[in-house]
Amino acid sequence: MNTPLLIERLFQYAQTYFPRKEIVSRTPDGIFRYTYADFGNRTRRLSSALSRLGVGPGDRVGTFAWNDHRHLEAYFAIPSMGSVLHTINIRLAPDQIAYIVNHAEDKVLLVDAGLVPLLAPIRDKLPTVEAFVILGNQVDPSASPLQPAYSYEALLAEADPEFEYPTDLDENSAMGMCYTSATTGNPKGVAYSHRGIYLHSMSMGLANTVALSDTDVALPVVPMFHANAWGMPFAAIWFGAKLVLPGPTPTPAILLDLMSQEQVTISAGVPTIWLGVLQELEAHPRPLSLRMVLCGGSAAPPALIRAYEERHGIPFAHAYGMTETSPLATFSRLKSYQRDLPYNERLAIRATQGLLVPGLDMRIVKDGEDVAWDGKQMGELLLRGPWIADEYYHDERTTSTFIDGWLHTGDVASIDPEGFVRLVDRTKDLIKSGGEWISSVDLENAIMGHPAVLEAAVVGVTHPKWDERPLAFVVLKPNQKVTKEELREFLTGQFAKWWLPDDILFLEEIPKTSVGKFMKRTLRDQYHDYLISDKGSL
């Protein structure tokens, strides 16, 4: 019972029991396929190469890469040797990238050849980095603007395929880290322990959650630089699933081609991905084998769930988590006795963020008291458990988020008598109108239920009388038309009158964060005074 829960054990199990299973990786040079056995050989070679570069237990190794087979090798090679896999978000601003590399004190960076130009301008700001390993097929390290540079493939060719991993690491030591954006200030580092990721991976195999198994073909669209691609690479490899990695800049058409050709059964991504994929699927249908579309990171609009299920027969699952929670924290799935409810009632349940994943603890708290499980009262969601972080890495902001052993998520939620959690909003996105709360998420979901609407974001903007009022931004589907008045009419009856947005503006695109969520902060900053300026409809 005291066996340490280490990433090396996941890797070892996959090697022993599933050597013939396949990994498919989309690269700039085309599709690359190999077996788990070959993946294992290259993973050990990578550990050996890193060790020869001076990387040892506890050292941080950064990755700056898309979802592909080399990134996957790093996912297992770095933690298995006792070093720390630091996945760096390639879409952050250069200053933020420099901040997190320095803050984590990365010793070596593994960089996709195509992403070298993003790091070249900040090379001089990265004093802790002793070597850049360039990932790609034809790499000439001497010509790289990042120095000292090495070719990943050349290093692997010379390395030891029998590299031995330590089996006595402390299961509570860090195996990885990821920085999450902060509303203000620099990104905050979250360190993941071996034990936490081991148990999180196991939770992905539960029939009550994702039920990932060797019968699956898994395609994580969610980037491997964002919250471990929701843990999918670790769990998929452990359980022997076929893994399909979509490579650089995957468009909806590329994703659907891969899903169709490789007979993908489960894929994970944020709602904006699934909105885009849906558009493409309706324009150019393809035969699919999906048993589950896993959607999280932002609220999944019920209309989106319905479109996948009713129009395309693709089961859609909604889950919730954060970088701080590894990330799977809640998963929405009907209880056995809810399966015969009418579709609309089932949809309403499944559009919630769902039930707490077994193994975790949760509270919803208002003014220090737990709220009633009545589906109405709202409070802040608090989490704790074996894969919930309990601090930010070397950061004084720890004390305001991790209190008495609980992660304070900054998300406002209610919980119904069955235990289904419904996220009302992020605290900072709630619209405070005349002392009452309006949920921007509820309004967005309803607007995205209109057939002409592709995307919608609602933010609170300053109002002289009510403090804040909702302002809606809408992107229409191509060749669709609808007026503000028609949209307002569409919302009337779904909400109390005082909830309706004061104005609706049509945009070409809603600004998105680095991981594809609506960037409401930008809209808020830009339109802060809209209703008190002469442009507003007030």
Residues that bind ligand ADP (CB under 6 A): 180-181, 227, 296-299, 318-323, 353, 409, 411, 423, 426, 513, 517
- The least distance separating ligand ADP from the CB of residue 517, rounded to whole angstroms, comes to 5
180 membership: H or E segment, kind and range: strand 174-180
Nearer to ligand ADP, 113 or 328 (CB): 328
The answer to whether 130 and 122 are in contact (CB under 8 A) is no
Q: Is 437 a catalytic residue?
A: yes
Nearer to ligand ADP, 233 or 321 (CB): 321
Query: 345: which 2 tokens?
Result: 């009632």
Nearer to ligand ADP, 411 or 468 (CB): 411
Please state, in angstroms and rounded to a whole number, the distance separating the CA atoms of residues 55 and 528. Answer: 49
Q: Is 481 a catalytic residue?
A: no
Residue whose tokens read 């609407």: 453
Query: 444: which 2 tokens?
Result: 């967005």
Of 399, 432, 498, 535, which residue is the catalytic one? 432
Nearer to ligand ADP, 11 or 308 (CB): 308
The type of residue at 306 is: R
The answer to whether 192 and 326 are in contact (CB under 8 A) is yes
Q: Is 483 a catalytic residue?
A: no
- The least distance separating ligand ADP from the CB of residue 256, rounded to whole angstroms, comes to 23
Nearer to ligand ADP, 177 or 227 (CB): 227
- The least distance separating ligand ADP from the CB of residue 322, rounded to whole angstroms, comes to 4
Nearer to ligand ADP, 10 or 190 (CB): 190
- The least distance separating ligand ADP from the CB of residue 284, rounded to whole angstroms, comes to 28
Could you give the 3-state DSSP secondary structure of residue 219?
strand
Of 437, 462, 484, 517, which residue is the catalytic one? 437
Please state, in angstroms and rounded to a whole number, the distance separating the CA atoms of residues 54 and 148. Answer: 14
Query: 278: which 2 tokens?
Result: 């849906």
Of 262, 324, 444, 468, which residue is the catalytic one? 324
Could you give the 3-state DSSP secondary structure of residue 44?
helix
- The least distance separating ligand ADP from the CB of residue 29, rounded to whole angstroms, comes to 31
Alpha helices for 30-168 (secondary structure H): 36-52, 69-80, 94-104, 116-119, 152-158
Question: Distances in Å between the alpha carbon of 481 and those of 282, 361, 453, 454?
Answer: 18, 46, 9, 11
Q: Is 16 a catalytic residue?
A: no
- The least distance separating ligand ADP from the CB of residue 297, rounded to whole angstroms, comes to 5
Please state, in angstroms and rounded to a whole number, the distance separating the CA atoms of residues 262 and 244. Answer: 8
Residues assigned a catalytic role: 180, 324, 432, 437
